[in-house]
Chains A and B, each alone.
Chain A
Amino acid sequence: MAAVAALYKDFQALDVEVLSISTDSRFVHKIWQEEELSKMLKGGVPFPMLSDGGGKIGTVYGVYDEAAGVDIRGRFIIDPNFVIRGMEVLTPEVGRNPNELLRQIKAFQHVVETGEVTPSGWQPGDPTLVPGPDLVGKVWEVWKP
């Protein structure tokens, strides 16, 4: 969570709202922020920290672990039309890569704006593909892994 918070300016630059959510109460979030996060990172976590006590929200998002009683690591990208564009779910032991999250958001924003599609590993400035009959069988001419 702190890793996402550390890149919060990058998320703001893309006009992205970040929400974190766990089964902890809002009271625990407050103390975590004050006692630990704010010492890890100047200002701590700047985005809303939501509480999913009972895991009902995690259940409909497919990330609630009933045996452990917690939401596992899952992150969802939602576009301005309220459509889920991407999801990544990890078991708790491995943390996320917020840079890959930023890359995916940039790619989704680009395709929404342009109607182009982005090949594997695309970064802003890289060539994109324009789907259509002329591209069939010709992707090799414009893109290689």
Chain B
Amino acid sequence: MSDLKDGCVKPAGGPLLPAAESDKMDVLTSLTQEVKKVLARVGKEAIDFEASAFISGEGFKPVKLSDYRGKWIVICFYPGDFTFV
């Protein structure tokens, strides 16, 4: 376990967008929350992101999607730990 002694609140990068898209995300995360921008499309480049992660046997560390560029990648979103399906 390499990095188990981190702080309680350590924000990861989240979506890593080019500047133009990043401006749109600022709108997205502003108070209005009215502009929703889904950027993922089949046949288009994946949106890079950084997230904090738990890796069994390694501990906590930030993971970037682009760390795995050059390989086949599967991302599985799911509603929550300790749920039933």
Q: Which residues of A contact B (CB under 8 A)?
A: 1, 4, 11, 14-33, 36, 43-52, 54, 56-63, 66, 68, 70-80, 82-87, 92-96, 101, 105, 108-109
**CB nearest neighbor in B for A104:** B74
**Cβ-defined contact, B72 with A51, below 8 A:** no
**CB nearest neighbor in A for B48:** A82
Q: Is B19 an interface residue (CB 8 A)?
A: no
Q: Is B70 an interface residue (CB 8 A)?
A: yes
Return chain A residues, CB-CB under 8 Å to B25.
56, 60
**CB nearest neighbor in A for B28:** A59
Return chain A residues, CB-CB under 8 Å to B49.
57, 60
Return chain A residues, CB-CB under 8 Å to B76.
1, 4, 18-21, 73-75, 96
Q: How far is the CA of A23 from the CA of B12 in the complex (A)?
A: 13
CB-CB nearest 5 A-B residue pairs:
A62-B38, A32-B81, A29-B54, A50-B51, A71-B77
7 further contact pairs, Cβ within 8 A, besides A49-B53, A85-B42 = A15-B72, A19-B68, A21-B76, A29-B54, A71-B79, A78-B65, A94-B85
Total cross-chain contacts (CB, 8 A): 192
Q: How far is the CA of A4 from the CA of B78 in the complex (A)?
A: 12
B39-85 interface with A by 8 A CB criterion: 39-47, 49, 51-56, 60, 63, 65-66, 68-83, 85
Q: Which residues of B contact A (CB under 8 A)?
A: 12, 14-15, 17, 25, 28-29, 33, 36-47, 49, 51-56, 60, 63, 65-66, 68-83, 85
**Cβ-defined contact, B72 with A84, below 8 A:** no
Contact A57-B72, Cβ < 8 Å, known A19-B63, A68-B79, A82-B45: no
Return chain A residues, CB-CB under 8 Å to B78.
1, 20-22, 71, 73, 92
**Cβ-defined contact, A92 with B56, below 8 A:** no
Chain A nearest CB from B42 CB (Å) reads 5
Chain A nearest CB from B70 CB (Å) reads 5
